[in-house]
Amino acid sequence: MKYSYYFILLLVVSFMSCDRESGIGSILLGEDNIGISFTDTLDLVFTNQYSDSLRTFASNGVLISSPSNHRIGTLNDPIFGETTQKLVLCPNILNIPNFDNASLDSMILILPLDSLSAYGDLNARHNVKVYQLDDPMHEIDISARMDTFYTNVEITNYESNFIGEIDQVISYDDSVFVYNPTLDSTFMDIPQVRIRLDDSFANQFLDTSNVSTDSLFQSNIKGLVLTSESDASSLLGLSINSLSSATTDARLRVYYQQDGDSLFYDYFLAAFKHSHITHDFGGTIVEDAIENNLDENLFLQPMAGTFVSLDLAELKDFEGKGINYAELELFVNQDLGDDLSLYPPSFSVLSIYENDEGNKVVISDITSLGASGYGGNLTTALDDMGNKIRKYELRITDHAVKIKNGSVENTVIELVTEEPLEIPRRTVLHGNNGGIYSAKLKLVVSEP
């Protein structure tokens, strides 16, 4: 049975879940506890590593996989260096429009804001610029599309095709009032960025020869590139769903006149989306830790940033003993001088490993216990001196037992952020720095 030690675990759970931080090391829980002991003194072998590129877009025919949360801008992070994101969006036609005898009023690019996707200074002033691609990056025919793109795929041939911009402080809380010419009324809409685009670009959308089919339309329009420069370290958060007609979606709205009526038509985003993300760790403590194999601090950053590996080979030393409970305790390092209100740590941390087939999968505790049983969420507590601390507690009992018994041959697990990997929340943890907040693996062990 996978969890044959639940009865013993119940005997010690109140001890293990004490709010007070434990520094007791290795102790015996009592003469009459059938040889049950607690230890948190294992030598943990951590390695900080650079991540590989991430998949930003994939499709198999009409099945499209792409996140809805996106960012543009640059972070100048005091710990992780410079991270820059650019975004490609391609509009699509859901219903073929009738633009006979139509004349353009204006075209507005509408980008709903997402404060949960933003990072850094939320009150920064962003200069958002929009360009048109010279050539499509993707397979035009959606029904035949088999494209896969990664964060390191560069965006080229666009900077000469500037078609619009805004320069303003972004508010994630303020709704906007939008005029509907069809109803001749104004209504309140969600917080959003609205950018008027160049009329010569917009007139392409009223050309019947460009919009008779979706494939023809995409081959002519090619796609939009979004960039942002800001007056502070900031990534602008956007919500962009795929192939939908929901009123909260990003869209290109063309206002036009036809037969004496004022009308509008929405081209929705995005039949194709791609985020190009670059990381520059030059001169940072992250680069120093990775290049010199230092583990005093542990660095977790999504967006193809960094991750941490942990070798649990010492668990094999418990052969002949029972591992009744295993919990990895990790503390956020709050002493490096970075502003955690601007750079809040990750919501949660996952444990994954490479299985015998060479695939990265979550450890069995996550699938069998679920999120509540595994833990891994960022929590806050007070230490013995009344200081607020932030930490993660990862319950990895089942995986630890499998390593000890040899049913899992790979003794290395990887620690990664649980959010979608394009979400920029990063975390600095205490590693093997010898302090009271050093990383610990807490074990409850029983003798045979």
- pLDDT, one tens digit per residue, over 84-109 is 999 999 887 878 888 999 999 999 99
Contacts of 16 (CB under 8 A, 6+ apart): 325, 327, 442, 444
Half-sphere exposure of 13 (CA within 13 A, CB side): 8
The residues that bridge with 159 in the sheet, in sequence order, are none
Q: Residue ranges of the alpha helices (H) in 375-437?
A: 397-405
CA distances from residue 382 to 18, 95, 306, 388 in whole angstroms, order as listed: 11, 58, 29, 5
Neighbours of 321 (CB within 10 A): 15
Q: What is the dihedral of CA 169, 171, 175, 176, to 10 degrees?
A: 10
d(CA 162, CA 138): 20
Q: Is the pLDDT of residue 438 over 80?
A: yes
Question: Cβ–Cβ contacts within 10 Å for residue 301, how many?
Answer: 27
Q: What's the predicted TM-score (pTM) here?
A: 0.85
Q: Report which of residues 57 and 392 the model is more confident about.
A: 392
Cα gap 84→271, rounded to integer Å: 23
Mean pLDDT for the chain overall: 85
CA distance 336 to 173: 31
Residue 63 CB neighbours (<10 A) = 8
- The whole-angstrom separation of Cα 249 and Cα 270 is 9
Q: Which of 7-11, 40-44, 234-238, 335-339 bottoms out in mean pLDDT, i.e. has the lowest?
A: 7-11
Closest Cα to residue 437, out of 374, 377, 390, 394? 390
Which helix or strand (DSSP H or E) is residue 201 part of? Answer: helix 199-202
29 burial (CB, 10 Å; 0-12 / 13-18 / 19+) is middle
Q: What is the pLDDT of residue 65?
A: 59
Residue 15, CA distances (Å) to 86, 329, 355 in order: 49, 15, 34
pLDDT digits (tens, 9 = 90+) for 201-217: 999 888 888 888 878 88
Query: What contacts 446, CB < 8 A, 6 or more positions away?
Result: 5, 8, 34, 35, 36, 37, 321, 322, 324
Mean pLDDT in residue range 272-299: 96
